[in-house]
């Protein structure tokens, strides 16, 4: 049955609460009763497995995968990082799906009616699978900020949505990556819904080393997922 040592528990000092009234949609959508503890079984310790065969050639290049007759407008960026577990072990073959607004802050989603232009050469969706060292890379356009109806003059900070599959179903994570120095972070109830000590883990780092000269600014975003608990042997090292 393989490693049934279990997966580390969800760290509730890292994750936002289910109801955070400043983010108004949580009030009627977040469960109110305590979560029921569960003894982990194969159901939680297994999970969907995707490999590099799940990818099409341009899936990780959002500057090209939606192009119709030219390049998308905006600031070209490269986003890279590693997917790790809490023990720092790289997570190879982790599927990452991303989606984001275009440079003007407009999603291709038909429900987005923000009065900003659609970019005919930008779709905004992509995916990647981590390599043997847990590393992924996306090329994209820096997403724009956009208004939303949560409160008066509410604006979402620049962000990229990420969805990840790790080593087990219990590792599942959907999150958002933000950009350093964004003044909207201090005003955003979604970002601020995250426990204070954990928020900086959602903010990518600008890196001149990752920046590709004459081509794209570089950002680094490492992601830590729940993984197998350490074995007694690892604990004793």
Partner 1 sequence: MSDLKQTPSQTVGPYFAYGLTARQYGYRHTSIAEGAMAGEDIEGERIRVEGRVFDGDGNPVPDAMIEIWQADSQGRYAHPADGRGSNAGFTGFGRTGTGTDPKHRFIFDTIKPGAATEGEAPHLNVVVFMRGLLTHVFTRIYFGDEEAANAADPVLSSVPTDRRSTLIAARTGNTYRLDIHMQGDNETVFFDV
Scan residues 124-153 and list those touching partner 1 (CB under 8 A).
Answer: 124-125, 127
Task: Give strand pairing partners of 218.
Answer: 78
**Per rule CB under 8 A, is residue 103 in the interface with partner 1?**
no
The token pair at 127 is 């995916």
Of positions 71, 75, 180, 198, contacts partner 1 by CB under 8 A = 198
Annotated catalytic residue: which of 82, 106, 156, 226?
156
Q: Which residue, 197 or 214, has its beta carbon nearer to partner 1?
A: 197
**Per rule CB under 8 A, is residue 38 in the interface with partner 1?**
yes
Which one, of 209, 212, 57, lies nearest residue 128 by Cα?
Answer: 57
Q: Which residue, 51 or 212, has its beta carbon nearer to partner 1?
A: 51
Total chain residues near partner 1 (CB under 8 A): 86
146 is catalytic: yes
* Span from 71-79, 132-140, 164-172, 210-218 in contact with partner 1 (CB under 8 A): 164-172
Burial group, residue 206, by CB count within 10 angstroms (0-12, 13-18, 19+):
middle
Provide the minimum distance between the beta carbon of 101 and partner 1 in the complex, in angstroms, as a whole number.
8
Which one, of 91, 221, 73, 225, lies nearest residue 159 by Cα?
Answer: 221
DSSP string, 57-124: TTTTBTTTTT-SSSPPSS-EEEEEEEEEETT--B-TT-EEEEEE--TTS--SSTT---SS---TT---
Of positions 87, 117, 180, 231, contacts partner 1 by CB under 8 A = 87
Q: Which residue has the tokens 């204070």?
A: 196
The token pair at 82 is 């590693």
Distance, in Å, from the CA atom of 179 to the CA atom of 64, rounded to the nearest integer, reads: 22
Provide the minimum distance between the beta carbon of 216 and partner 1 in the complex, in angstroms, as a whole number.
21
Provide the minimum distance between the beta carbon of 130 and partner 1 in the complex, in angstroms, as a whole number.
14
Provide the minimum distance between the beta carbon of 47 and partner 1 in the complex, in angstroms, as a whole number.
6
**Per rule CB under 8 A, is residue 50 in the interface with partner 1?**
yes
Q: Which residues are catalytic?
A: 107, 146, 156, 159, 161
């Amino acid at each position: 049955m393989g490693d049934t040592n279990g997966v580390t528990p969800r760290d509730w000092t890292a994750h936002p609460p289910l109801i955070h009234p400043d983010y108004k949609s949580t009030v009627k959508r977040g469960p109110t009763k305590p979560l029921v503890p569960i003894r982990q079984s194969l159901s939680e310790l297994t999970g969907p497995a995707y490999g590099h065969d799940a990818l099409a050639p341009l899936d990780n290049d959002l500057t090209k995968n939606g192009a119709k007759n030219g390049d998308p407008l905006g600031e070209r960026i490269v986003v890279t990082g590693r997917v790790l577990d809490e023990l720092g072990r790289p997570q190879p073959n982790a599927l990452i799906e991303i989606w984001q607004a275009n440079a003007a802050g407009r999603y291709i989603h038909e429900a987005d009616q923000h009065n900003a232009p659609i970019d005919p050469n930008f779709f905004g969706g992509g995916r990647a699978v981590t390599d043997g060292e847990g590393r992924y890379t996306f090329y994209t356009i820096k997403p724009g900020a956009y208004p939303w109806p949560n409160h008066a003059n509410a604006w979402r900070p620049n962000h990229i949505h990420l969805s990840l599959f790790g080593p087990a179903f219990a590792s599942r994570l959907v999150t958002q990556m933000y950009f350093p120095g964004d003044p909207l972070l201090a005003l955003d109830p979604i970002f601020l819904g995250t426990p204070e000590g954990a928020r900086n883990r959602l903010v990518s780092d600008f890196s001149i080393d990752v920046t590709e000269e004459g081509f794209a600014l570089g950002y680094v975003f490492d992601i830590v997922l729940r993984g197998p608990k350490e074995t007694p042997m690892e604990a004793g090292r």
